A and B are shown apart, each in its own frame.
Chain A
Amino acid sequence: MSDKRATREALGETLLELAAEGRDDIVALDADLAKSTTTAKFAAKYPERFFDVGIAEQNMMGTAAGLAAGGMTPFTGSFAVFATGRAYDQIRNSVCYANLNVKLTPTHAGVTVGPDGGSHQMLEDIALMRVLPNMRVLVPADYRAAKGAIRAAASAQGPFYIRLGRMALPQVHGEDFVFEIGRAYVLREGADVTLAACGVMVERALAAADLLAGEGIAATVIDVSSIKPLDGPTILAAARATGAVVTCEEHSIIGGLGSAVAELLGENAPMILERIGVRDSFGTSGEPEELMRHFGLTAEDVAIAARKAVARKA
């Protein structure tokens, strides 16, 4: 598709838009990855409001926290692996404990980073961020949703983690799409199984639903881009209507979307659940699409899990 774009592209562009709209409080920080994260676009137009801290992610988080305490609204870049694990205590103590208005918007999450390999493929970030009090966690499914998520975070008080990616993705949401924090979006309805997905897995869940339809299995597909807060009512309604759920994420099956949905179902409506994700392993070098196949993150993998879930209902 010609309109394929990476969610990371939304970062620099949306910050430019917000600044042009008069948001003088918005500043951006990066840790020597401004070109890759696209914060360089903002830096080019607003150099006095951009701070490259060098290769020092802990310092980036602390400086951002200080800027927020001083009344600014900082967005931080870097790659998801360094922007979370490397700076975790700063995120916990300087940002979240003080409930400061810092927006973490790192890019290059997941295995779709590609050849850089396991050291750079962040698969634990949703888990790390989800457990922090005050932190909200958004995993947009396409460029349009990423812009919406960044705008929504810019207008809300408190810390956010918005997970952005390197790989170009097709649009799954239409032009009239409005991103809302805490809302899950039902993209397709079917009676047999619910596919709950986030990020790059949303388009794959939709493709899986097409595959399943050919076999007489009707799938509901939900974009659960807001992992925290989680839209419990929407997910539970779909789960109860279909009697089986498959979660789909480019993240460890431990602690991410699959865990969040398992917690929700376990407490409210115990039922058949299958989880698509990386199964307690690090990534490895390869091309993004190769890696999605290697780790079982294709539409066909989702369809296999859905068939299994439906079969378990019998």
Chain B
Amino acid sequence: MTGTDTEAIAAHARQMRRDIVQMVADAGSGHPGGSLSAAEIVSTLYFGVMRHRPDDPAWEGRDRFVLSKGHAAPVLYSALAEAGYFGREQLSTLRKLGSMLQGHPDMRKVPGVEVSTGSLGQGLALANGLALALRLQGNTDSRVYCLLGDGELQEGEVWESAMLSAHYDLGNVIAIIDRNGLQIDGPTSEVMDVSEVGDKFSAFGWFVIGCDGHDVDSLLDAFEKASRHTDGPVAIVAQTMKGKGVSFMENNCDWHGRAPSADECATALGELE
């Protein structure tokens, strides 16, 4: 990647942050904290890493993306709109009756949404299934990227799926853990400590890479390393900050699932200029 590419990805992430704040404010509900923490991760995937065609969402050669932490739907919707899967005017319909932009991603409604998610812990199993299907269909190029929250790792199914990825040598599965350290009830370390996330995945047979989840170059480097590891699944533990970019939302679990008021929205957008 050139410096220009890095800057373009960072610029998309800045736009996505503005979209997230505006969308959740317009909706009057939603999850800004965990959407903001994932802005660079998702931006880097959609504008620097993944092969995909916004004008042909079903293109067989595409890489697949699974948003296991489905409540971060705003970050995905913004990326899809930025990429051109649908018009940006859709973003203001988030969570409203009749909108294709449901509170959590619906594959039957939104072009570019690979699978429906929202109930935590289920995305990695879906990613594994997609990866197995690619293998059976002889597609050795496409990869499946799955973004999980760190609180989500408390769901037992995640570890059932982690076992399966390694057992079936799914070298086309790359999980990214948005390690923002907060969940609804408080710090993840206090609610139910998921502790050494990388060690856990490593113990389950995964190749583990750490990175700064807000540094595009660090993310690009991690994805590049991941692409070279093809004989088994790769977990990228991205250190992030919940609410990143909006001073009063940063590292504050109260903003996990709360919409900003009109004033708060204006303040936040001012900070994100």
Q: Indicate if the CB atoms of A94 and B125 lie closer than 8 Å.
A: yes
Q: Indicate if the CB atoms of B108 and A98 lie closer than 8 Å.
A: yes
Q: Does B141 contact A (CB under 8 A)?
A: no
- Interface with B: A48-56, A218-226, A281-289, which one? A48-56
A93-B119, A93-B122 known; A63 vs B132 contact (CB < 8 Å): yes
Residue A63 contacts which of B106, B116, B161 (CB distance < 8 angstroms)? B161
| Cβ-closest chain B residue relative to A25 | B136
Q: Does B160 contact A (CB under 8 A)?
A: yes
On chain B, the residues within 8 Å of A246 by CB distance are: none
Cβ distance B43 to chain A, nearest Cβ, rounded Å: 24
- Interface with B: A67-75, A116-124, A147-155, A165-173, which one? A67-75
Complex formed: what's the CA distance from A94 to B106 in Å? 10
Q: Does B118 contact A (CB under 8 A)?
A: yes
Question: Interface readout for A96-114 with B: 1 if CB under 8 Å, 0 if not?
Answer: 0111000000000000000
Could you tell me the dominant secondary structure of chain A's interface residues? helix
Q: Does A85 contact B (CB under 8 A)?
A: no
Q: Indicate if the CB atoms of B129 and A70 lie closer than 8 Å.
A: yes
On chain B, the residues within 8 Å of A27 by CB distance are: 132, 136
| Cβ-closest chain A residue relative to B121 | A58
Q: Indicate if the CB atoms of B108 and A66 lie closer than 8 Å.
A: no
Q: Indicate if the CB atoms of B136 and A66 lie closer than 8 Å.
A: no
Of A53, A61, A62, most B-chain CB atoms within 10 Å: A62
Cβ distance A24 to chain B, nearest Cβ, rounded Å: 8
Complex formed: what's the CA distance from A217 to B157 in Å? 54
On chain A, the residues within 8 Å of B130 by CB distance are: 66-67, 69-70
Q: Indicate if the CB atoms of B119 and A63 lie closer than 8 Å.
A: no
Cβ distance B166 to chain A, nearest Cβ, rounded Å: 12
Complex formed: what's the CA distance from A89 to B160 in Å? 15
Residue A65 contacts which of B129, B136, B137, B160 (CB distance < 8 angstroms)? B129
A58-B125, A66-B129 known; A98 vs B115 contact (CB < 8 Å): yes
Could you tell me the dominant secondary structure of chain B's interface residues? helix
Number of chain B residues close to chain A: CB under 8 A: 31
Complex formed: what's the CA distance from A214 to B126 in Å? 57
Q: Does B163 contact A (CB under 8 A)?
A: yes
| Cβ-closest chain A residue relative to B119 | A93
Give residues 154-204 of B contacting A (CB, 8 Å). Answer: 156-157, 160-161, 163-164, 167-168
Q: Indicate if the CB atoms of B133 and A89 lie closer than 8 Å.
A: no
Cβ distance B102 to chain A, nearest Cβ, rounded Å: 10
Complex formed: what's the CA distance from A69 to B167 in Å? 21
Residue A68 contacts which of B118, B129, B164 (CB distance < 8 angstroms)? B129
A70-B134, A71-B137 known; A58 vs B126 contact (CB < 8 Å): no
Q: Indicate if the CB atoms of B116 and A66 lie closer than 8 Å.
A: no
On chain B, the residues within 8 Å of A93 by CB distance are: 116-119, 122
Complex formed: what's the CA distance from A53 to B124 in Å? 14
Q: Indicate if the CB atoms of A69 and B114 lie closer than 8 Å.
A: yes
Complex formed: what's the CA distance from A64 to B132 in Å? 10
Q: Does B262 contact A (CB under 8 A)?
A: no
A51-B168, A69-B129 known; A56 vs B163 contact (CB < 8 Å): yes
Q: Does B219 contact A (CB under 8 A)?
A: no
On chain B, the residues within 8 Å of A70 by CB distance are: 129-130, 132-134, 137
Q: Indicate if the CB atoms of B115 and A69 lie closer than 8 Å.
A: yes
Q: Does B128 contact A (CB under 8 A)?
A: yes
Q: Indicate if the CB atoms of B156 and A63 lie closer than 8 Å.
A: no
On chain A, the residues within 8 Å of B136 by CB distance are: 27, 48-49, 72
On chain A, the residues within 8 Å of B117 by CB distance are: 93
Complex formed: what's the CA distance from A164 to B57 in Å? 38
Residue B107 contacts which of A53, A69, A71, A72 (CB distance < 8 angstroms)? A69
Q: Does A90 contact B (CB under 8 A)?
A: yes
| Cβ-closest chain A residue relative to B116 | A98
Interface residues of A (CB under 8 A from B): 27, 48-49, 51, 53-54, 56, 58-59, 61-72, 74, 89-90, 92-94, 97-99
Across the A-B interface, the 4 shortest Cβ-Cβ residue pairs: A66-B129, A62-B125, A70-B133, A59-B160
> 15 interchain pairs (CB within 8 A)?
A53-B164, A56-B160, A58-B156, A59-B163, A62-B125, A62-B161, A65-B126, A66-B125, A66-B128, A67-B132, A67-B133, A70-B132, A70-B133, A72-B133, A98-B115
Other A-B contacts than A65-B125, A92-B119, 17 sampled, CB-CB below 8 A, are A51-B132, A53-B160, A54-B164, A62-B126, A63-B125, A66-B115, A66-B131, A67-B133, A69-B107, A69-B130, A69-B133, A72-B133, A89-B122, A93-B118, A94-B115, A94-B119, A98-B115
